[in-house]
Structure 1
Amino acid sequence: MRLAFLLAAPLLAGCAAQTPPPPAASTFTYDGNPIVRDRYTADPAPLVVGDRLYLYVGHDEARGDQMFNITEWLAYSTTDMREWTAHGPVMQPTDFSWVSRDAWASQVHEKNGRYWFYTAVEHDEEQGSHGKAIGVAVADNPLGPFRDALGKPLVRNEDTDGPHHWDDIDPTVWTEEDGQSWLIWGNANCYIAPLADDMVSFSGPIRQIDLPDFEEGPWIFKRGDLYYLAYASMDKAISEDERISYATAPSIEGPWTWRGEITGTAANSFTIHPGIAEFKGEWYLFYHVGTLSVGDQQGAIGRRAVAVERMRFDEKGLILPVEQAARGLLDEG
């Protein structure tokens, strides 16, 4: 997510040594968008494992005029996109010993039977770095328990030459058929680097991908022989809010060709964050909006809610425009 007002983000109170076990799972039925109605969720990251889709989100807990207060990562899952299970929290920022706060955007990636949790957090200034960093946690199943896999950040703010101290956020991961994994991330600049076999270090240099109007939130996936890189974009001549654009390439190393917009701005939120997955033969675009009210709090930039739409392609493999709708998947039978 973009942080134009970082100083407004509140500090987390206290410090947890270990994420408590999740509460007993509860179930609910999808009733249109947003998917989850009892709390605020942001930055959706889907993962398909067998016949189940897992959805990881940040828990937005800002109140009043607070900007961001994202305190933990939650997990949900479904086998049919209608009946969902809420699994509760899978990790908190302070489960990383070097982190002070902020459960920002993440992606869980399966490789060789393990689940690698790449995420953006705020580095504890007393431990030698300032600003956002990329951490890595690992677990033996999709619901954890996740533990810090490295004991330090994979990427610090000082490791890249970005325009501000939150340019190292929003990681997305891809593994090639030959086993080579790649990490892509960034705000203002889009970075890419090859991961080593250990998944917690790089085997090559950090480079930049040049994408028109790139703002943040990259999401990498492949369909057939074509690679797709979706991302939150901003053209201020059109809107002060983010949209979702994308590019394609014949290789993960490019060259990338800009293909246009997937969907427009999110209702009542200047940020939008794509999460894309193929599940049981259909493609889905997850994103967040600011339309949900919970209790005495109305939706806002710090109180977003995850939504989903079907995503389709034309005969050339280009993504057809996606219309955001309150009924979402309900209109499709």
Structure 2
Amino acid sequence: MQISDIQLRDPFVLPRAEEGSYWLFGSTDKDIWKGQATGFDCYRSQDLDTWEGPFPAFRPRPDFWSPTNYWAPEVHEYHGRFFMFATFGHPEPQVRRGTQILVADEIQGPYEPHSNGPVTPSDWECLDGTLHVEADGTPWMIFCHEWVQISDGAICALPLSGDLQRAAGEPVELFRASMAPWVDPVSSPRHGTGYVTDGPYLHRTAEGDLLMLWASFRNRRYAQGVARSASGTIRGPWQQQEEPLFEADGGHGMIFKAFDGTLYLTLHSPNETPFERVVFIELEEDHGALGVKGAA
């Protein structure tokens, strides 16, 4: 199939040079917002255009704690195994949405629970956890504390144990959505007015700068922003790029390098179910900043 044939949100690409393949993960249920969740599928390609799949990467066992809202799986290779960071929800309001860590010995799975439920705080509404390993080898989960609970959504960092099974400390707040000059508030009948944080992803530039992709809304459309750590470490302080990197109703992006060295941003656009599709955008780095290649 072609990439345009695949309905998928929150795309995550893991290149595997040893097999010459790109593996694509994401939110693959037809309607991720409601109903019984199926799991996560993945796809494989040699050229980023023609894809094989879907292959079932995760299917919950009957006693799995979450029946709904399976979102944003990321797969990271760490100490010789493959770890999936994924968001799971629950229809009961007292059971908070959060990011759990799964594990597999092969990239395509099958993935099984690794952490004991979500690693994010049990009394917080959280989503979109991603793995970042600092220069000293300390693993961190970067995640969103949701605007639906705190109005002004936050990006937070949580130190993890070396085996990625549990938190190894308290969460640290890195910044709030309203700190970015490009972000506009959103409103809903249920949650009122607030500022959204979605989909953090860490990228170290060739010059050593630590950047964070994250998504929110501008002019009522989904958009992809960038922040830069002034210290070059996860603790920041984080400086927000004045303008979004992409604002044409797309976001929840990540960055990967193709086998020919091309740097790509991938995200989903538009932000409307069931029309969301994977988009690949060529990037360039310029003195610690990211830009779309060829943009004016």
Name the TM-score, length of structure 2 as normaliser. Answer: 0.79
Is the 2:7–2:276 contact (alpha carbons within 8 Å) kept by the matching residues of 1? yes
Alignment of 1:301 with 2:273, yes or no, is: yes
Indicate the RMSD between aligned Cα atoms, in angstroms. Answer: 2.6
Shift of 1:290: 3.5
Q: Shift in Å at residue 95 of structure 1?
A: 6.8
How many Å separate the matches in 1 of 2:256 and 2:113? 26
Partner of 2:213 in structure 1? Answer: 230
Write the deviation string for residues 22-80 of structure 1: whole angstroms up to 9, x where unpaired: xxxxxx3x4xxxx241x421110112233432110111413xxx955664312112233
**What is aligned with 1:5?**
none
Structure 1 CA distance for aligned equivalents of residues 239 and 60 of structure 2: 36
CA gap 1:94/1:272 in 2 versus in 1, 3 angstroms: farther
The answer to whether 1:240 aligns with 2:220 is yes
Aligned ranges for residues 92-171 of structure 1 at < 5 Å?
92=59, 97-123=64-90, 125=92, 129-158=94-123, 160=124, 167-171=125-129
Superposed displacement of residue 184, structure 1: 0.6
Name the structure with the higher strand share: 2
Q: Does 1:179 align with 2:137?
A: yes
- Which is bigger in relative contact order (C-alpha 8 A, separation at least 6)? 1
Query: Does the CA contact (< 8 Å) of 2:134 and 2:233 recur in 1?
Result: no
Q: Partner of 1:242: helix, strand, or coil?
A: strand
Pick closer, same or farther for the CA change 1:99–1:60 going to 2, 3 Å: closer
Aligned partners of 2:63 and 2:103: how far apart in 1?
Answer: 12
Distance in 1 between residues matched to 2:211 and 2:293, nearest whole Å:
16
Q: Are residues 1:286 and 2:252 paired?
A: no
Greater alpha carbon shift after TM alignment, 190-199 vs 206-215? 206-215
- Cα 1:233–1:138, aligned 2, differ >3 Å: closer, same or farther? same
Q: What are the Cα deviations for residues 187-224 of structure 1, in whole angstroms up to 9, with x where unaligned?
A: 32111111111202122210111152452111112123
Q: Partners of 1:191 and 1:106 in 2: how far apart?
A: 18
Counterpart CA distance in 2 for 1:302 and 1:323 is 30
How far, CA to CA, are the matches of 2:49 and 2:14 in structure 1? 16
2:164 paired residue number: 199
* Contact 2:159/2:167, CA 8 A, preserved across alignment: yes
C-alpha contact (below 8 Å) 1:98/1:124 kept by paired residues: no
Deviations 1:251-305 (A, max 9, x none): 1221211123111132xxxx631121122211111111239xxxxxxxx334422
Q: 1:283 to 1:309 in 2, by over 3 A?
A: same
Preserved CA contact (<8 Å) 1:272 1:287: yes
Give unmatched runs, 5+ long, in structure 1.
Answer: 1-27, 161-166, 292-299, 325-333
CA contact (8 A) 1:129 1:156 kept: no
Alignment length, in residue pairs? 263
- Give the 5 Å matches for 1:318-329: 318-321=289-292
Q: Does 1:75 align with 2:42?
A: yes
Structure 2 unaligned spans of 5+: 147-152, 184-195
Q: From the superposition, tell whether residues 106 and 307 of structure 1 become closer, same or farther in structure 2 (CA, over 3 Å).
A: same
Quick one: distance in 1 between partners of 2:275 and 2:170? 37
Distance 1:114 1:156 in 2: 25
Are the equivalent residues in 1 in contact too, given 2:55–2:108 (CA < 8 A)? Answer: no
Instruction: State, as a whole percentage, how many aligned pairs show the same letter.
Output: 22
AA partner of residue 244 (structure 2): E
Q: 2:157, 2:234 within 8 Å by CA — same for their partners in 1? A: no
Question: What's the secondary structure of 2:28's corresponding residue?
Answer: strand
Structure 1 distance, partners of 2:142, 2:64, is 24
Q: Which amino acid aligns with 1:232?
A: A
Q: Return the alpha-carbon distance in structure 2 between the equivalents of residues 86 and 255 of structure 1.
A: 41
Q: Which residue does the alignment assign to 1:264?
A: 247
Looking at structure 2, the residues matched to 302 and 130 of structure 1 have their Cα atoms a distance apart, in angstroms, of 27
